[in-house]
C-alpha cells in the first residue's frame, strides 16, 4: 500500500480524507466494525446500550493520516456517549473533557477506537496510533474476537511499513486534548488553574483539579477481580510493563487521570518563548524540565531546613536530616529496593559507575579478567571500565548490536566465561532509544558467576524499574533525567555486595572512628558518602520521584509510547530522512540524519522555530559509528510533550527536505 503524500502544512486543520466505503482486505466492512464498537461499549459495566450506529461522512467525520495498522476508524453518528460510560463527561454525556467543544457535525465518542477500559487514548488534538495491542481480549465481546488478530502490536522496525495511517484531528481547540480523558467522569472541571503548592505538600489529585483515587481504585479492583477469575489482566505488551509483577503493582496503585494540559501547567519553563515562539522541549534525553513541586521544595529547604546533617543536636539539623533521609526512602520505594541501606546518593550516573569501578572493580578485577559492556553504551559506561582494565591488565569485551540497534544475545552468551567479572549495560540507549533486555542479560551474567550493573539514566523516566525483579547487583540513575535537580543521582547496590566494598573517597560522614593509627568506616550507605553531600538536591530528587509516582509511571509510559509511534510515522516518510535505531522496543528517542544537511544545521533551523533538540554524538560515539555516522539530530520526548509540538517539528524537517 502506498504512503500518502506528506501534508505540506501539518498544523492545518485540512487533512485528506480516507475513503470509508470499503474496509481493507481481510477485515470486516465499516458497518460491521460500527456494530462491534456498539457491542463493546454495551459490555462496559454501568453503560447504557448505545443506539444503533450509522456511519457518516460529513464534516468532522473524515479519517486521515497514519496508524500502524490498516483497520479503519469508524464514526458513530448521532450517538452520544451513553450515560455512565467512560466516554461520558461530567454531565453524563459528551467528551469527558470539561470545557471541550466538538466540530460541527461531530458527535461525542466519534472516531474513537475503543481499547480496554483503562486505555482509550487521545494525544494532542487527534487520536494517535491508538495501540491496538492494548485491547484486552477478556474485556471485548465474543463477537469482536474475530477482529482482534488483525490488530497485532507493531512498533519500531516492525511498524515502519507503508500502510496509510488513519488519524482525525478535531478542529475545535482543546477537543480530546487529554489522554485518558474518559477518567474525568463525575469530576470537577479538569482545567482549574493549580495554585502554587505549599512547600513540601507535593502533588495531589486536587492539585490537578481532577477526581481523587476512588474511581481509579474501583477500576483497579475490577481488573484484579477479572484476573482472579482466570482472565487476563494484561492490556498490552508495553516495554514499561513487561511482567506480571509490574501489572500487579499497577493494579494496587491509583493515580489521578492523565491530563496533558494540567501536567504542562506544572512545568513553568514550557511557557518560555524562544525566537518569538513558544518553547518545544525535545531535548529530554539530555535533561528533563522541572515541575513547580520540585522548584518549591528546593526553595522551602533553603528557606526553612538548610543545615548540615546527622551530627548536630539543634532543630534545623534535625529537619535537614529528616528531609535527606526521607528522600533516600523515596528512592528506595521508587526502585523497590529492600532497604535504604542499599541506596547511595551520588552526583549522577557517571559518578555512580565510577564508584562501582573504583571500589568494587579495584578489589575484584585482576589480570586476565574480563569486563563486558554493550555497543550501545554512553561514554560514562565505557571510560571507567577502560581505565580499570588498563590498570589491572584485564580485557574489555563488547556485545555487538544488529542493524536495528538491538543487542545480540547469542553473541553475548558466547562471550561469557569463567573470567567474566562484571557485565555493565544500559537499559535504554541515549543515542538510539533502544530498550535493552536487561533482565535476561543480568540472569545470563549471574549464571556465569559474574556481577551485573544496569545504567538506568535513560530508563527511569519512561518505565517502571524494580531492582529486585531485575536482580542487578548495581543500578544507577541521575535525578536530572527524571524531572529532578542536576548534580544528584543514586546508586542501588545489593547489601551483601556493598558490605564487601571498600570506600572510594575518605572523610566526613563515611567514618565511624579515626585515630592516627587506623580508621573504622561506617557501613553502607554512609561509607560511600564522604563529606557534605548534595542535601538540597537530594530532597529535590525525592520531590521529583513523588511527582512521577503520583501520576503513575505506567500512565507516563503509555502516553509516551503512542506519542513516539505518532512521531515515528510522520518522520520516516520525509524525503532524505534516515532513522538511526529502529529496534522493536524503543523509548523516547528519534535519532535521525537528513540528506544534504549536517545535524547541527538541522538543530539550528529547529531552534529558530523555538524547538530544542540535541545535535551531535550524544556522548555515544561508538554506536553512532556502528551506523556509519558521526552525529545525529536527536529529538527526545517526555510526557509533557504533545502531538501539536510533534507537528511543529515535522513541519520544519519537511521544509528543509524540500530545499535540497
Q: Which of 534, 568, 595 is the last residue of a domain?
A: 534
Domain annotation covers residue 334: yes
Residue 603 belongs to domain spanning: 554-659
Domain annotation covers residue 116: no
Decide: helix, strand or coil at residue 59: coil
Q: For residues 168 and 210, what is the distance between their CA atoms, to the nearest angstrom?
A: 26
Contacting residues for 173 by C-beta, under 8 A, at least 6 apart? 125
- Both 599 and 518 in a single domain? no
Contacting residues for 543 by C-beta, under 8 A, at least 6 apart? 202, 293, 294, 297, 298, 484
- Residue 224 · residue 249 · CB < 8 Å: no
Distance of CA 424 to the CA centre of its chain: 22
Name the active-site residue from 55, 396, 415, 619. Answer: 619
Nearest to 121 by CA among 177, 201, 175: 177
- Both 513 and 580 in a single domain? no
Give, as one character, the DSSP assignment of residue 628: T
Q: For residues 517 and 307, what is the distance between their CA atoms, to the nearest angstrom?
A: 32
- Both 618 and 483 in a single domain? no
- Is 643 an annotated catalytic residue? no
Positive or negative, the CA dihedral 98, 103, 109, 112 is negative
Domain annotation covers residue 399: yes
Total domain count for the chain? Answer: 2
> What stretch of H or E contains 295?
helix 292-304
Contacting residues for 91 by C-beta, under 8 A, at least 6 apart? none
Domain annotation covers residue 210: no
- Residue 114 · residue 86 · CB < 8 Å: no
Domain annotation covers residue 388: yes
Instruction: Please return the burial class of 520, using the count of CB atoms within 10 Å of its CB with bins 0-12, 13-18 and 19+.
Output: exposed
Q: Supply the pLDDT for residue 142.
A: 42
- Residue 563 · residue 643 · CB < 8 Å: yes
How far apart, in Å, do the first and last CA atoms of the chain sit?
A: 27
Dihedral angle over CA of 308, 310, 313, 315, nearest 10: 60
Q: Which of 505, 534, 563 is the last residue of a domain?
A: 534
Q: For residues 351 and 191, what is the distance between their CA atoms, to the nearest angstrom?
A: 41
Q: Is the pTM of this model over 0.75?
A: no
Domain annotation covers residue 471: yes
- Both 318 and 438 in a single domain? yes
- Both 429 and 511 in a single domain? yes
- Both 520 and 611 in a single domain? no
- Both 576 and 481 in a single domain? no
- Both 353 and 416 in a single domain? yes
Task: Read off the CATH number of the domain in which 441 is found.
Answer: 3.40.640.10
- Both 387 and 503 in a single domain? yes
Mean per-residue pLDDT pooled into runs of 10, the chain (660 residues): 39 38 53 65 49 38 35 35 37 37 36 32 37 36 38 36 36 33 32 35 38 40 42 35 38 68 97 97 98 98 95 90 97 98 98 98 97 98 98 98 98 98 98 98 98 98 97 98 98 97 90 92 94 96 97 96 97 98 96 97 98 97 97 98 98 95
Contacting residues for 123 by C-beta, under 8 A, at least 6 apart? 179, 260, 559, 562, 563, 566, 642, 643
Give yes or no for a cis peptide into 393 (omega within 30° of 0).
Answer: no
Contacting residues for 318 by C-beta, under 8 A, at least 6 apart? 312
- Both 365 and 399 in a single domain? yes
Domain annotation covers residue 632: yes
Decide: helix, strand or coil at residue 659: helix
Residue 268 φ then ψ, to 5°: -60, -30
Domain annotation covers residue 163: no
Q: Which of 464, 499, 534 is the last residue of a domain?
A: 534
- Both 605 and 461 in a single domain? no
- Both 439 and 312 in a single domain? yes
Task: Read off the CATH number of the domain in which 644 is found.
Answer: 3.90.1150.10
Amino acid at each position: 500500500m502506498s504512503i500518502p503524500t506528506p501534508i505540506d502544512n501539518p498544523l492545518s486543520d485540512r487533512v485528506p480524507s480516507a475513503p470509508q466505503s470499503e474496509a481493507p482486505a481481510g477485515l470486516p466492512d465499516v458497518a460491521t466494525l460500527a456494530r462491534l464498537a456498539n457491542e463493546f461499549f454495551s459490555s462496559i459495566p454501568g453503560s447504557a446500550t448505545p443506539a444503533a450506529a450509522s456511519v457518516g461522512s460529513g464534516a468532522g467525520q473524515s479519517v486521515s493520516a497514519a496508524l500502524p495498522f490498516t483497520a479503519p476508524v469508524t464514526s458513530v453518528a448521532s450517538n452520544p456517549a451513553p450515560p455512565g460510560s467512560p466516554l461520558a463527561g461530567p454531565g453524563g454525556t459528551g467528551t469527558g473533557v470539561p470545557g471541550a467543544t466538538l466540530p460541527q457535525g461531530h458527535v461525542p465518542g466519534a472516531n474513537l477506537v475503543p481499547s480496554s477500559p483503562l486505555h482509550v487514548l487521545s494525544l494532542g488534538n487527534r487520536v494517535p496510533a491508538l495501540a491496538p495491542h492494548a485491547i484486552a481480549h477478556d474485556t471485548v465481546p465474543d463477537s469482536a474476537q474475530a477482529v482482534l488478530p488483525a490488530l497485532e502490536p507493531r512498533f519500531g522496525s516492525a511498524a515502519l511499513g507503508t500502510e496509510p495511517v488513519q488519524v482525525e484531528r478535531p478542529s475545535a481547540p482543546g477537543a480530546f486534548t487529554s489522554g485518558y480523558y474518559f477518567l474525568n467522569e463525575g469530576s470537577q472541571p479538569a482545567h482549574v488553574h493549580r495554585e502554587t503548592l505549599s512547600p513540601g505538600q507535593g502533588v495531589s489529585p486536587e492539585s490537578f483539579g481532577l477526581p481523587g483515587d476512588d474511581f481509579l481504585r474501583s477500576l483497579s479492583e475490577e481488573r484484579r477481580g477479572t484476573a482472579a477469575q482466570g482472565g487476563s489482566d494484561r492490556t498490552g505488551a508495553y516495554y514499561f510493563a513487561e511482567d506480571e509483577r509490574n501489572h500487579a503493582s499497577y493494579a494496587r496503585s491509583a493515580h489521578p487521570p492523565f491530563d496533558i494540559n494540567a501536567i504542562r501547567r506544572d512545568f513553568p519553563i514550557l511557557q518560555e518563548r524562544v525566537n518569538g515562539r513558544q518553547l518545544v522541549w525535545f531535548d529530554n534525553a539530555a535533561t528533563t524540565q522541572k515541575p513547580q513541586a520540585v522548584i518549591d521544595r528546593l526553595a522551602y529547604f533553603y528557606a526553612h531546613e538548610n543545615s548540615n546533617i546527622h551530627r548536630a543536636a539543634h532543630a534545623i539539623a534535625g529537619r535537614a536530616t529528616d528531609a535527606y533521609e526521607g528522600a533516600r526512602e523515596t528512592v528506595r520505594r521508587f526502585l523497590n529496593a529492600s532497604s535504604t541501606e542499599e541506596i547511595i546518593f551520588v552526583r549522577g550516573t557517571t559518578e555512580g559507575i565510577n564508584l562501582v569501578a573504583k571500589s568494587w572493580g579495584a578489589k575484584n578485577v585482576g589480570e586476565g579478567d574480563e569486563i563486558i559492556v554493550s555497543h550501545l553504551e554512553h561514554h560514562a559506561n565505557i571510560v571507567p571500565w577502560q581505565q580499570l582494565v588498563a590498570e589491572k591488565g584485564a580485557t574489555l569485551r563488547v556485545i555487538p548490536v544488529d542493524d536495528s540497534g538491538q543487542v545480540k544475545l547469542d553473541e553475548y552468551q558466547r562471550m561469557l566465561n569463567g573470567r567474566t567479572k562484571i557485565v555493565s549495560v544500559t537499559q535504554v540507549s541515549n543515542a538510539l532509544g533502544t530498550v535493552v533486555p536487561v533482565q535476561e542479560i543480568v540472569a545470563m551474567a549471574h549464571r556465569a558467576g559474574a556481577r551485573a550493573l544496569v545504567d538506568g539514566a535513560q530508563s527511569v523516566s519512561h518505565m517502571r524499574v524494580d531492582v529486585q525483579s531485575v536482580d542487578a547487583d548495581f543500578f544507577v540513575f541521575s535525578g536530572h533525567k527524571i524531572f529532578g535537580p542536576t548534580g544528584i543521582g543514586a546508586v542501588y547496590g545489593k547489601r551483601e555486595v556493598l558490605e564487601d566494598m571498600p570506600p572510594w573517597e575518605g572523610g566526613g560522614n563515611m567514618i565511624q572512628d579515626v585515630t592516627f593509627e587506623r580508621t573504622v568506616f561506617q557501613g553502607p550507605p554512609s561509607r560511600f558518602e564522604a563529606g557534605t553531600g548534595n542535601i538540597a538536591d537530594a530532597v529535590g530528587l525525592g520531590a521529583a520521584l513523588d511527582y512521577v509516582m503520583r501520576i503513575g509511571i505506567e500512565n507516563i509510559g503509555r502516553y509516551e509510547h503512542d506519542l513516539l509511534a505518532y512521531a515515528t510515522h510522520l518522520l520516516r516518510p520525509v524525503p532524505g530522512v534516515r532513522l538511526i535505531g529502529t529496534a522493536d522496543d524503543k523509548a523516547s528517542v528519534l535519532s535521525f540524519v537528513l540528506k544534504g544537511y549536517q545535524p547541527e544545521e538541522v538543530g539550528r533551523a529547529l531552534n529558530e522555530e523555538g524547538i530544542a533538540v540535541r545535535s551531535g554524538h550524544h556522548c555515544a560515539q561508538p554506536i553512532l559509528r556502528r551506523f556509519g555516522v558521526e552525529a545525529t539530530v536527536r529529538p527526545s520526548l517526555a510526557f509533557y510533550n504533545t502531538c501539536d509540538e510533534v507537528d511543529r517539528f515535522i513541519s520544519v524537517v519537511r521544509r528543509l527536505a524540500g530545499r535540497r
